[in-house]
C-alpha cells in the first residue's frame, strides 16, 4: 500500500519544482535577455513485480505480475536559448544580439536542436556578450542594456565590466594624442567596432580598434545559470566557447534590447497543468491516508 504513497509524494515534489520554474519564467517576463527555463522530468527505474506461491496448484512457485513504475523526479532546470524579440530603445548604450548560427546539414527545429537518424542530438550554437565580474571571472549574457560606470567603463546593469575583443574592459575615453578624453556617445559600425562622435573608430592604448567581444557557445546547455541573465561555463567545457566576429549569422543592433523569450500564454497553460497534476497526486495521498486510518482505527478494533 505504501508504495503508491511514495509514488504520489514523488509526483508532488516534481510538480512543485515545475511550478517554481514556471513562476520564475513569468516573474522575468520583462527581464532583458532572460532565457526561459523548463524542468526536465524523468521516471525512476521500473521494477518487476512477482508473486511467490507454494506451488500446490502445480504451477510455478514464482509468477510474474508485471512492471511497476516507482515515480518521477525533476532532474534539472534547463534554459531555452531561443532568440527573443527586439525592442527599440534609442539608447546608444543598448545593444542586442541577433543570432542564427547554422551548422552544415543540420536544420534546427523551433526548439533549437537537431536529431540525426541515429538519435544523436545537436543543439544550435548561440552568441553572447562577454562580461567580467569584480574578480575577473568571465560570464556570458544576452542582456545588452549597458551603461557607463564611474571609471568610464562600459558596464552591465549589475555592474559587470563589458569586455572588448582584446579581452580587456571597454573604457569610453579617447586616448588619441596622448590625452584621455571622455566619450559621451558611441556608435557601432558594420564590423562591430565602436565609433566616436567624430566618426573615427575608437582605439585602445595600443592603437587597436575597440569592439564588443562576442562569444560563441557550441552547446549552450553546458552553460550554468548564475541568475540576473548571466551564465558561466565550467573550466572543463572551456573548449565550447570561441570568439567570433560579426557576420550574417550573428549581428549586434545598437539602440535595441532583446526581450525575454518567455511565452506568457504558454506559461499560464503550463502553470495550470502543473497545478492540476499536483492536485491529482494530493488526492492520491489523501486516499492512502484515509485507507491507513481505517486499517489502524477501524479494522484494529474488530
Q: Which pLDDT does position 183 carry in this prediction?
A: 82
216 and 282 share a domain?
A: no
Segments forming the whole domain that contains residue 198: 84-258
At 217 the pLDDT is 94
Tell whether 116 and 24 lie within a shared domain. Answer: no
- Whether residue 209 sits in one domain with residue 166: yes
Q: Which of 241, 258, 275 is the last residue of a domain?
A: 258
Within this chain, do residues 38 and 139 fall inside the same structural domain, yes or no?
no
Does residue 221 sit in the same domain as residue 273?
no
pLDDT band at 1 (very low <50, low <70, confident <90, very high): low
Could you tell me which residues come within 8 angstroms of residue 67 by beta carbon, excluding any fewer than 6 positions away? 46, 47, 48, 49
Number of domains forming the structure of the chain: 2
With b meaning 16 or more CB within 10 Å and e meaning fewer, what string describes 157-190?
eeebbbbbbeeebbbbebeeeeeeeebeebebee
- What residue has cell string 504513497? 5
Secondary structure element (H or E) that encloses residue 17, with its range: helix 2-27
The helix/strand/coil state of 113 is strand
Q: Beta-carbon neighbour count of residue 27 at 10 Å?
A: 11
Q: At residue 51, does pLDDT exceed 80? A: no
Q: 3-class SS at 169?
A: strand
- Predicted confidence at residue 26, as pLDDT, reads 95
**Whether 146 and 253 share a structural domain:** yes
Question: What is the arithmetic mean of pLDDT over 77-92?
Answer: 91
Same domain, 171 and 49: no
**Rounded distance between C-alpha atoms, residue 128 and residue 53, angstroms:** 64
Model pTM? Answer: 0.82
Please compute Rg for the chain using Cα positions.
Answer: 27
Identify the residue whose cell numbers are 527555463: 37
The three-state secondary structure class of 269 is helix
33, 93: one domain: no
Residues constituting the chain: 302
| pLDDT at res. 219 | 92
**Distance between CA 280 and CA 72 in Å, rounded?**
14
- At 137, give phi and psi (nearest 5°): -80, 135
Residues 91 and 70 in one domain: no
- The segment with the largest mean pLDDT, out of 43-47, 140-144, 177-181, 294-298, is 140-144
Residue tagged 558594420 (cell numbers)? 190
Residue 211 is classified by DSSP as: B
Highest mean pLDDT among 57-71, 199-213, 268-282: 268-282
Q: What is the mean pLDDT of residues 48-68?
A: 70
Q: Does the pLDDT of residue 177 top 70, yes or no?
A: no
| Structure confidence at residue 246 (pLDDT) | 84
Residue 42 CA to residue 48 CA, distance in Å, equals 18
Share of the chain above pLDDT 90, in %: 48
Same domain, 28 and 139: no
**CA-closest candidate to residue 281, choices 64, 71, 69, 114:** 71
Q: What is the pLDDT of residues 209-258, one digit of tens each?
A: 889 999 999 999 999 999 889 999 999 898 999 998 888 789 999 999 99
Question: At 75, which helix (H) or strand (E)?
Answer: strand 72-79
- How much is the pLDDT for 302? 56
**Do 91 and 208 have their domain in common?**
yes
Average pLDDT over the chain, rounded to an integer: 87
| C-alpha to C-alpha distance for 152 and 172, rounded to whole angstroms | 5
Q: What does the pLDDT read at residue 178?
A: 63
Helix (H, G, I), strand (E, B) or coil at 128: strand
Pair 227, 280 in one domain: no
Amino acid at each position: 500500500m505504501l508504495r503508491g504513497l511514495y509514488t504520489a509524494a514523488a509526483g508532488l515534489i516534481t510538480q512543485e519544482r515545475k511550478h517554481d520554474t514556471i513562476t520564475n519564467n513569468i516573474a522575468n517576463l520583462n527581464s532583458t535577455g532572460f532565457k526561459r527555463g523548463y524542468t526536465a522530468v524523468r521516471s525512476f527505474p521500473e521494477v518487476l513485480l512477482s508473486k511467490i506461491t507454494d506451488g500446490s496448484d502445480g504451477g510455478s512457485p514464482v509468477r510474474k505480475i508485471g512492471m511497476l513504475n516507482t515515480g518521477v523526479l525533476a532532474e534539472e532546470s534547463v534554459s531555452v536559448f531561443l532568440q527573443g524579440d527586439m525592442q527599440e530603445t534609442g539608447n546608444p548604450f543598448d545593444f542586442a544580439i541577433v543570432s542564427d548560427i547554422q551548422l552544415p546539414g543540420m536544420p534546427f527545429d523551433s526548439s533549437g536542436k537537431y536529431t540525426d537518424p541515429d538519435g544523436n542530438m545537436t543543439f544550435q550554437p548561440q552568441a553572447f556578450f562577454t562580461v567580467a565580474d569584480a574578480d575577473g571571472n568571465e560570464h556570458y549574457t544576452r542582456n545588452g542594456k549597458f551603461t557607463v560606470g564611474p571609471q568610464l567603463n562600459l558596464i552591465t546593469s549589475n555592474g559587470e565590466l563589458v569586455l572588448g575583443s582584446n579581452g580587456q574592459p571597454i573604457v569610453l575615453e579617447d586616448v588619441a594624442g596622448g590625452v584621455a578624453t571622455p566619450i559621451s556617445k558611441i556608435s557601432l559600425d558594420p564590423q562591430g567596432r565602436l565609433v566616436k562622435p567624430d566618426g573615427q573608430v575608437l582605439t585602445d592604448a595600443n592603437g587597436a580598434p575597440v569592439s564588443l567581444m562576442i562569444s560563441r557557445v557550441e552547446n549552450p546547455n553546458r552553460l550554468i545559470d548564475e541568475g540576473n541573465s548571466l551564465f558561466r561555463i565550467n573550466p572543463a567545457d572551456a573548449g565550447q566557447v570561441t570568439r567570433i566576429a560579426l557576420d550574417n549569422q550573428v549581428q549586434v543592433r545598437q539602440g535595441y534590447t532583446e526581450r525575454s523569450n518567455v511565452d506568457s500564454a504558454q506559461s499560464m497553460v503550463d502553470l495550470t497543468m502543473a497545478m492540476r497534476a499536483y492536485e491529482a497526486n494530493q488526492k492520491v495521498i489523501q486516499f492512502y491516508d484515509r485507507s491507513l486510518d481505517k486499517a489502524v482505527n477501524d479494522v484494529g478494533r474488530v
